[in-house]
A and B are shown apart, each in its own frame.
Chain A
């Protein structure tokens, strides 16, 4: 797997900071793309709202394996735009019937790869959620499918374009933090406590549970899994490291000139939530409640940590990444923006405020969507294109691989292989549940 051929990535990332308001290209009405959404939950609908707000989408298809969110989103689309999308529970049928030009994929992680690859093959541009996939091999196959064609892919790493991330990155690169020798990423806080198993229940009316599980192992339905809770079930996602970690690891790769770490080690567990339960009658989540991952780069070491207990009254910042430089500590955060703490006691911190397009959820999806449209219209790579996002997604997935394996792995990022460990390499992919076929690159 070669990932080095696009050399314009860095500049493209920064160019995205100055996104251009509508209409994108000169005078005249902007083109409206036949747009379809796969995964009509809370987040998918958020993305679709931005697509509609941008004025360049006609919503032609909606797909979800659960009828309720499908109809709720359809209702909202019709109310907002007058569009009357066709409704599907199987994305393959939707791709064949409505031939969308843009496909948004906001499914659980185990359902990213196949729709993305199939949508690209059908000729659609794709907006797919982060992390790119559930296992590294799927992401490689997605990238190969993108590189085989000329379609644009944007991945939902909205922190690539958020104004305070852009200005913070400029500050980091200005030399004002000095030489950076260490990075610490973290998501901390939470009420904690032991997790009580909750009863498995019958599948909600109108939900195709077999299709929800799709290529992943089929578990008993439990409300903790869906809607919404799948991030903490390792069959379908990769816990906090996969969900949150990818954003901050992406910031590290954005900042550094290095392309990948040479080794990864992770440990953690469920000391507070307790052992995972998955019986015929009841379930708990199974993702770790606390975890540390160490990413060893040539010129620095980056660590990740998350905790879902203990709150966090001892530190100013609860979420983000500290970049430790010879001139002080730089914190890249979320709602707290970025802050540079010079090492001298008497020097005042320097601060950059966040500026979210969605203040309630604290994101910049609007800009990310605009950047995607620019990419489609000008055939330029958007800021979170699949190659960028693939490399950023590989890191949490490697962390989770090491966590499951129980030992560190040495990574050859050019060949995308683990060095000298066939057992570890086998975990770069997993067999799909019959009849689904794993999309090897």
Chain B
């Protein structure tokens, strides 16, 4: 039986906690790993006053989002046989440095390019990049020079999942936790040495999400066949949930709060809500009506908001009740897309580049929608940092928009 005393035992770990500057967004899914910015929005009618473009850059083919900290905007993309990590000045959009390495574009049934987002470690002033084929780089934040590098797929004999490694690096103190192998891997952030690893079979595509439970520092990672919780100190698996999808695509990060864990996958799979019992997860509900193919939804209270369906199918924005597992509303305005949250609102980009702003409410969605700011395909989650919104498309156009001043 489920012990209710565990309620509240799972505590999300912020990266560096109060050390994060202002409203930086130093890693995938933001400061709290939940896709929600802590900023407030001053202008909420985007149909009348859309966010104004501040700068625009070409970053190469791929799906890497941006990370923003210490005045730098970092992302990656593929150009002419190389993956390129770039650092831009947050204010001007001028490129400060780039780091190139030869890499296959991996365009299997899609345009290809890197899928993970560089992580900025503000304590050591480094940028941590996991490449599609298992390349791992620790770069200096100031100039992009290589502190150390690994090729983990080769050195650790790992199976590369079909669409390449796509989870971003999670830094926890001096450890880098990676979604590599069936249940993760840990690397010493100072030396690049392997601390622990799991069996080298197919990993999933999600980014490790940290939490604490019974005093232990744990992460949830995904494999091609499920999700599991792993002790970040030892690599010991605490529990796992089988979660099979046709092509082994467990891509959406799990959502963890109190003693609950939400997971979801696309390709007709669906979602499940689980509760942490005595050392294992117990299913509360499971359904096929919300299928997050690439990106996890965001949670506001007892509701989740996100895209259901695959990029190539009839996808739509849905609101899901966590209590019942039922769909509360659905909306076809955007088709397929991606979103983040801020100030009780959803910040949405449709696959064809329109932006939407809508209050996150179970009573319905009334988005104010802008004309397209980028050509398709926009599958990468939008990012909010220091009053700006960053969006990119698969072909590598990155745009920074002003959320404070509007035209």
Binding site for B on A (CB under 8 A): 42, 45, 68-69, 71-72, 75-76, 79, 196, 201-202, 204-205, 223, 227, 360
Q: Which residues of chain A come closer than 8 Å to B281, judged between CB atoms?
A: none
- Given A204-B201, A360-B313, 15 more pairs with CB closer than 8 A: A68-B224, A68-B225, A68-B246, A68-B248, A71-B244, A72-B269, A75-B244, A76-B268, A201-B159, A201-B160, A202-B201, A204-B159, A205-B201, A205-B225, A227-B247
- Give the nearest-CB partner of B246 in chain A: A72
CB neighbours (8 Å) of A42 from chain B are 246
20 A-B pairs (CB sep. < 8 Å):
A42-B246, A45-B246, A68-B225, A68-B244, A68-B246, A69-B246, A71-B244, A72-B246, A72-B269, A76-B268, A196-B104, A201-B160, A202-B159, A202-B201, A204-B224, A205-B201, A205-B202, A205-B225, A227-B247, A360-B313
List the B side residues contacting A360 at CB < 8 Å: 313
Specify the chain B residue showing the minimal Cβ separation from A193: B107
Residue B245 at the chain A interface, CB threshold 8 Å: yes
What CA separation (Å) do A205 and B224 show in the bound complex? Answer: 10
Q: Within the assembled complex, what's the spacing in Å between the Cα atoms of A76 and B288?
A: 9
Judged by DSSP, the binding face of B is loop
CB distance from B45 to the nearest CB of A (A): 36
Q: How many residues of B contact A (CB 8 A)?
A: 17
When C-beta atoms are compared, the residue in chain B nearest to A74 turns out to be B244
Closest to B154 in A: A199
Residue in B closest to A227 when the chains form the complex, CB atoms: B247
Report A208 CB to chain B, min CB distance, Å. 16
- A205 proximity list for chain B (CB < 8 A): 201-202, 225
Counting from the closest, the 9 A-B pairs by CB-CB distance are A72-B246, A72-B244, A71-B244, A205-B201, A201-B159, A68-B244, A69-B246, A79-B288, A223-B162
State the B residues within 8 Å of A (CB): 104, 159-160, 162, 201-202, 224-225, 244-248, 268-269, 288, 313
Measured in the bound complex, the distance between the Cα atoms of B246 and A202 in whole Å is 19
Q: Which residue of A lies closest to B287 (CB)?
A: A79
- Closest B residue to A40 using CB positions: B246
Q: Name which residue of chain B comes closest to A70, CB basis.
A: B244
Chain B residue nearest to A229 (CB atoms) is: B108
Cβ contacts under 8 Å, A204 to chain B = 159, 201-202, 224
* Nearest CB of B to A441, in Å: 36
Chain A residues with Cβ under 8 A from B313's Cβ?
360
A205 to B198, CA, bound (A): 14
Q: Is the CB of B288 within 8 A of A72?
A: no
Min Cβ gap B26→A in Å is 34
* Nearest residue, chain B, Cβ from A42: B246
User: Please, which residues of chain A bring their CB within 8 A of the CB of B247?
Assistant: 227
CA–CA, A205 and B226, complex, Å: 13
* Bound-complex Cα distance A426 to B196 (A): 56
Instruction: Give chain A residues whose Cβ lies under 8 Å from the Cβ of B160.
Output: 201
Residues in A neighbouring B246, C-beta threshold 8 A: 42, 45, 68-69, 72
Q: Determine the chain A residues whose CB is within 8 A of the CB of B159 once the complex forms.
A: 201-202, 204
* A282 vs chain B, min Cβ distance (A): 13
Residues of B within 8 A of A196 (CB): 104
| Shortest Cβ gap from B190 to chain A (Å) | 31
Q: A204 to B247, alpha carbons, bound, how many Å?
A: 12
**CB-defined contacts of B162 to chain A, threshold 8 Å:** 223
The answer for the CA separation of A72 and B288 in the assembled complex, in Å, is 13
How far is it, in angstroms, between the C-alpha of A196 and the C-alpha of B102 when the chains are bound? 14
Q: Give CA–CA (A69, B159) in the complex, Å.
A: 19
A42 to B224, CA, bound (A): 17
A390 to B335 Cα, complex, angstroms: 43
A223: B residues at CB distance < 8 A? 162
